[in-house]
Amino acid sequence: MGRSGGLITIWNEDIFRFSRSIKSRNFLIVIEKSLGINSDIAIVNVYAPQAPVDKRRLWEELSKIKSNREIMWIFTNDFNALRNKGERVNSRFCHVSTGGFNHFIHLKSLIDLRIGGSKLDRFLVRDQFLESFLGASATALPSELSDHSPIMMKTTCEDCGPRPFKFFNSWIVRAGFREMVTKVREDFRGYGCADCYLVAKLRFLKSEIKKWRDLNFDKEKKEQNTGIE
């Protein structure tokens, strides 16, 4: 309709096998067999209308379709509705649209995957989906050519290792920092080749900086609580 051009859903045939589709003006449902799990998956590509009365008809139509099929459901794309007033950014808040949208989510026992940076676009899934994909998460990607941020859902939990160590330049001018670093340099005892020696020395320095940081921050907090400057 107009400049939107319609809806499109694309899938990898090495992962999904197409079964059937259901089309309407505001949604495109593709039902597929996943090769990784023993269940059909319905991916609902939604582009909700603006008017609250049209949204209500859409939720009713989707509810009816979903009730007739006990499979794994994923609703995604532009729902054109907010869940609460706090999600409103430079737009008019509509209580009617919000109430109807939340009622649809509650009625169909859907779970709204938390996502940062995007409010109109989201993923709604059933608990059955989360039982099969425990590490599922949603992420809003940078918006470059549109007023909407592309959203991506991952079904795997990736371990990126420990949190990176943050060093602030302001620590250098704090009392006792230079003395602590000098003492670390003098006290360190390492062995092995040059690169292994350097890694061990930096690791030792990082651990001592953490001790110094925690000790000084605790001290500052106590001074603030007691009113000492």
Q: What domains can you pick out in the chain, each with its CATH number? A: 16-154 (3.60.10.10), 169-226 (no CATH)
Report how far residue 76's alpha carbon sits from residue 67's, in angstroms, rounded to the nearest whole number.
18
For residue 117, which amino acid is it? Answer: G
Cross-strand pairs, 47: 78
Q: If we measure between CA atoms, which residue out of 163, 173, 167, 154 comes closest to residue 206?
A: 167
Say yes or no to pLDDT of 104 above 90. yes
Say yes or no to pLDDT of 15 above 70. yes
The residue behind tokens 């690791």 is 203
Q: Taking the complete model, does pTM exceed 0.85, yes or no?
A: no
Q: Which residues of 179-209 are buried (b: 16+ CB within 10 A; e: fewer)?
A: ebbeebeeeeeeeeeeeeeeeeeeebeeebb
Decide: 124 and 111 in contact? Cβ < 8 Å. yes
Decide: 126 and 66 in contact? Cβ < 8 Å. no
Cross-strand pairs, 78: 47, 121
| pLDDT per position as a tens digit, 124-181 | 998 888 888 877 888 888 877 777 778 888 887 666 666 677 788 888 888 889 999 9
Q: What's residue 229's pLDDT? A: 45
The residue behind tokens 């729902």 is 79
Average pLDDT over residues 216-223: 68
Q: Which two tokens stand for residue 121?
A: 């676009």
